[in-house]
Amino acid sequence: MTSARAEKLTTPSEREIRIERIFDAPRERVWRALTDPELVSQWWGRGNALVVERMEVTRGGHWRYVEHAADGAHGFEGRYREVTPPERLVYTFEWDGMPGYVVLEMTTLEDLGDGRTKVVTVALFHTSEERDGMLSSDMAEGLGQSYAALDKVLAALG
């Protein structure tokens, strides 16, 4: 169903972006795909090579990915605030291109009871200007590509 595969993007407050997406896989499997470095490297880069330099999925652990795109290498990093398998992951997100602009991302995985999982991510920015900057970037398109790649990883794990 195409409709279920579309992200729903909303702005609950002037400093937040909320993204909701349903995946056709049970919650434990989605959790694995979000937290296993080997699996993350298969979908996060949207088809670009992704090097997971660091990924310590535990409270206080750090993560750092480098995506090798046509226009060069892009580094992303952050730190885990909360890791509660298989339901909640809270971490910071920062792109090397805008160092010091830290987004807090809170991801929850809801078991829909029919073998599907709803993933909701709320991203909180320090200012509404930073939030608006993210909205006017190609973030939504990139996320759609990542999630489409994640669909495939989940299907292959099934």
- To a copy of itself, the closest distance from the beta carbon of 100 in angstroms equals 2
Helix (H) or strand (E) holding 130: helix 128-135
Helix (H) or strand (E) holding 66: strand 62-69
Place of tokens 């056709």: 24
**What does the alpha-carbon distance between residue 77 and residue 62 come to, in Å, rounded to a whole number?**
7
Helix (H) or strand (E) holding 133: helix 128-135
**54 lines the binding site for a copy of itself (CB under 8 A):** no
Q: Among residues 8, 54, 88, 126, which is the contact residue for a copy of itself, using CB under 8 A?
A: 126
SS3 54: strand
Mask: binding to a copy of itself, 65-94, rule CB under 8 A, as x and -? -------------xxxxx-------xxx-x
* Total residues at interface with a copy of itself (CB under 8 A): 21
Q: Which is nearer to a copy of itself, 84 or 127 (CB)?
A: 127
Q: Which is nearer to a copy of itself, 23 or 63 (CB)?
A: 63
Q: Is 47 left (phi over 0), alpha (psi -120 to 50) or beta?
A: left
- To a copy of itself, the closest distance from the beta carbon of 96 in angstroms equals 6
Q: What residues contact 115, with CB distance under 8 A and at least 6 apart?
A: 24, 25, 26
**143 lines the binding site for a copy of itself (CB under 8 A):** no
- To a copy of itself, the closest distance from the beta carbon of 105 in angstroms equals 10
Q: Catalog residues that contact a copy of itself under the rule CB under 8 A.
A: 59-61, 78-82, 90-92, 94, 96, 99-102, 104, 124, 126-127
